Amino acid sequence: MAFESLSEKLQKTIKKLRGQTRVTEKDVKSFMREIRLALLEADVNYKVVKDFIANVSEKAVGQEVIQSLSPGQQIVKIINDELTELLGSKESILDLSKTPPNVIILCGLQGSGKTTASGKLALHLKKQGKNPLLVACDLYRPAAVKQLEVLGGQIGVNVYQEGTDANPVNIAKNALKQALRGLNDIVIIDTAGRLQIDEELMVELEEIKKATNPSEILLVVDAMTGQDAANVAKTFNDRLDITGIILSKLDSDTRGGAALSVKAVTSKPVKFSSVGEKMNDFEIFYPDRMADRILGMGDVLTLIDKAMEAIDLEKAEELEKKMRKQQFTLDDFLEQMQQVKKMGGISSILGLLPGVAGKINEEDIDEKKLVKTEAIIRSMTLKERRDPSILNASRRKRIAQGSGTTVQDVNRVIKDFENIKRMMKMMQGAGKKGFGKMRLPF
């Protein structure tokens, strides 16, 4: 899947750039090619991608590299920061400060999830102590009114409806009167799905808006929408001046680039995400999490941060020196393992790596194996740790007994160690500075 390839490519580029002190135009270019692909694969509108790339490139070129980061890591950080900023730096809430009842209109294309989102939003507000009224203004799709009534029943929220022969604008007006009578402080209007090019139905929405003076007009956008999300959102926003977006079906495996497109073309925040078919599956939208998802980099940044915190730079440098002199010993192996533990264990680190989460077998990253390895090395004498070549059969047997493991276990550890040593030798040419920052002993 494209997912892995991006992070792989990025990691490769990160490695290549290690040791530079300044981010050059060439670095940025090669990075941006991958980022562009990733964004397009995530369905971000191609024009939005163009602007984004131009913007980030400008910011990145010529940047002095922060001491603790490699240039590659730094570019990733800039990209992530920009993406988060574009999506909205922090979550935004509903503005329900008008004299009650505050009206919220939900609108969007057919099948985007408006009715479900209406119910979820009502429950969300009810939990906050509000007393919402749901209004059935989708008279077009068969049984949409019934659907809203069923949902209202499930969550214990009243539904105002006049069947399917009435006029949606009138229903909305009457619902307001009903809300005053019923002491509802919030009115949520579910509208029929419509194409943004359907003039008649767009006028209907404008009229509902005029008749109800809404506090919020939320556009419901399917998170799996492709390039057209930008056009759709732009037209709805031009016509209605929407106040925010609900991103639906985010529980799918979509990368959800539509979130970025709609935000970029409307400048309106995504306020909620709808993440399942149950009425509880509704969340406040967190832009920073979405940035990670769209780029498909897992939590590379968190990993970078964690690595920075946990790994003692001095020790890392010392290790690097040793490695260069081919003096990497089992002691150092142990040391590196300790650092991994500080970072929360192998599985937690692997879980942060893009493409890895969910991909590897639990057994492959058996933490118990780590514990065993540690015990085995601790059962060796200092001499043995420094020079494993002296480990003959009787020594191995002793170590196995001492550590409560088997000779096979001991053999495996030694083999692992030799492998790592060989790998390190191979990688030596690659980087001069900062060995140990990102490299982990597995």
Partner 1 sequence: MSFFDKLKSGLKKTKESFMGKIDAVLASFGKVDEELFESLEDVLISSDFGVPTTERIMDSLRERVKADRVTDAEVVKAYLQEEIAKLLEGESAKGLDLDATPVVITVIGVNGVGKTTSVGKMAHLYKKSGKKVLLAAGDTFRAAAIDQLVIWAKRADVDIIKQKEGSDPSSVLFDACQAAIARNVDVLICDTAGRLHNKKNLMDELAKMARVVEKEMPHARKEVFLVLDSTTGQNAVNQAKAFKDVANITGIILTKLDGTSKGGIIVSICADLGIPVRLVGVGEGIHDLQTFNAKDYVKALFE
Ligand X SMILES: Nc1nc2c(ncn2[C@@H]2O[C@H](COP(=O)(O)OP(=O)(O)O)[C@@H](O)[C@H]2O)c(=O)[nH]1
Q: Which residues bind ligand X (CB under 6 A)?
A: 110-111, 141, 193, 195
Rank residues 66 and 143 by Cβ distance to partner 1 and give the closer one: 143
Rank residues 153 and 404 by Cβ distance to partner 1 and give the closer one: 153
Q: Does 66 bind partner 1 (CB under 8 A)?
A: no
Q: Does 238 bind partner 1 (CB under 8 A)?
A: no
For residue 388, is the peptide bond before it cis, meaning its omega torsion is within 30 degrees of 0?
no
Helix axes of 199-212 and 168-182: crossing angle, nearest 10 degrees: 20
**Residue 251 in tokens:** 């529980």
The DSSP code sequence of 58-117 is HHHTTPBPPTTS-HHHHHHHHHHHHHHHHH-SS-------SSSSEEEEEE-STTSSHHHH
Q: Does 93 bind partner 1 (CB under 8 A)?
A: no
Q: Does 286 bind partner 1 (CB under 8 A)?
A: no
- Interatomic CA distance for residues 125 and 279, integer angstroms: 12
Rank residues 162 and 374 by Cβ distance to partner 1 and give the closer one: 162
CA atoms within 13 A on the CB side of 131: 10
Q: Which of residues 25-54 bind partner 1 (CB under 8 A)?
A: 37, 40-43, 45-47
Q: Does 283 bind partner 1 (CB under 8 A)?
A: no
CB atoms within 10 A of CB 193: 20
Which residue do the tokens 């070129």 mark? 61
Residue 46: contacted member of ligand X, partner 1, none (CB under 5 to 8 Å, by partner type): partner 1
**Residue 34 in tokens:** 């991958």
Q: Which of residues 147-176 bind partner 1 (CB under 8 A)?
A: 147, 149-151, 154
User: Which of 7, 118, 161, 254 is in the footprint of partner 1 by CB under 8 A?
Assistant: 254
Secondary structure of residue 190 in the 3-state scheme: strand
Residue 243: contacted member of partner 1, ligand X, none (CB under 5 to 8 Å, by partner type): none
Residue 154: contacted member of ligand X, partner 1, none (CB under 5 to 8 Å, by partner type): partner 1
How many residues in the shown chain lie near partner 1 by CB under 8 A?
Answer: 46
**Residue 247 in tokens:** 């991103």
The DSSP code sequence of 293-360 is HHHT-TTHHHHHHHHHHHS-HHHHHHHHHHHHTT---HHHHHHHHHHHHHTTHHHHHHHHSTTTTTTS
Secondary structure of residue 209 in the 3-state scheme: helix
Q: Closest separation between CB of residue 352 and partner 1, Å?
A: 21
Q: Does 253 bind partner 1 (CB under 8 A)?
A: yes
Q: Does 74 bind partner 1 (CB under 8 A)?
A: no
Rank residues 110 and 213 by Cβ distance to ligand X and give the closer one: 110
Rank residues 45 and 70 by Cβ distance to partner 1 and give the closer one: 45
Q: Does 299 bind partner 1 (CB under 8 A)?
A: no
Q: Which stretch binds partner 1 (CB under 8 A): 80-88, 173-181, 249-257, 344-352?
A: 249-257
Cβ(31)–Cβ(318) under 8 Å? no
- Interatomic CA distance for residues 213 and 181, integer angstroms: 18
Q: Closest separation between CB of residue 143 and ligand X, Å?
A: 9
Residue 253: contacted member of partner 1, ligand X, none (CB under 5 to 8 Å, by partner type): partner 1
**Residue 182 in tokens:** 């019923």
Rank residues 168 and 193 by Cβ distance to ligand X and give the closer one: 193
Amino acid at site 398: R
**DSSP secondary structure code for residue 64 in this structure:** B
Rank residues 141 and 239 by Cβ distance to ligand X and give the closer one: 141
E strand or H helix at 188, and its extent? Answer: strand 186-191
**Residue 375 in tokens:** 């015990």
Rank residues 129 and 142 by Cβ distance to ligand X and give the closer one: 142
Residue 251: contacted member of ligand X, partner 1, none (CB under 5 to 8 Å, by partner type): partner 1
> Among all residues, whose Cβ is closest to ligand X?
110
Q: Does 430 bind partner 1 (CB under 8 A)?
A: no
User: Which of 10, 32, 69, 109 is in the footprint of partner 1 by CB under 8 A?
Assistant: 109
CB atoms within 10 A of CB 436: 22
- Interatomic CA distance for residues 263 and 290, integer angstroms: 12
Q: Closest separation between CB of residue 139 and ligand X, Å?
A: 12
**Residue 440 in tokens:** 């982990």
Q: Closest separation between CB of residue 37 and partner 1, Å?
A: 6
Strand partners, 222: 248
Residues in the chain: 442
User: Which of 26, 127, 146, 425 is in the footprint of partner 1 by CB under 8 A?
Assistant: 146
- Interatomic CA distance for residues 162 and 177, integer angstroms: 14
By CB under 8 A, name the binding residues for partner 1. 2, 37, 40-43, 45-47, 109-113, 140-144, 146-147, 149-151, 154, 195-197, 222, 224-229, 231-232, 249, 251-255, 257-258, 277
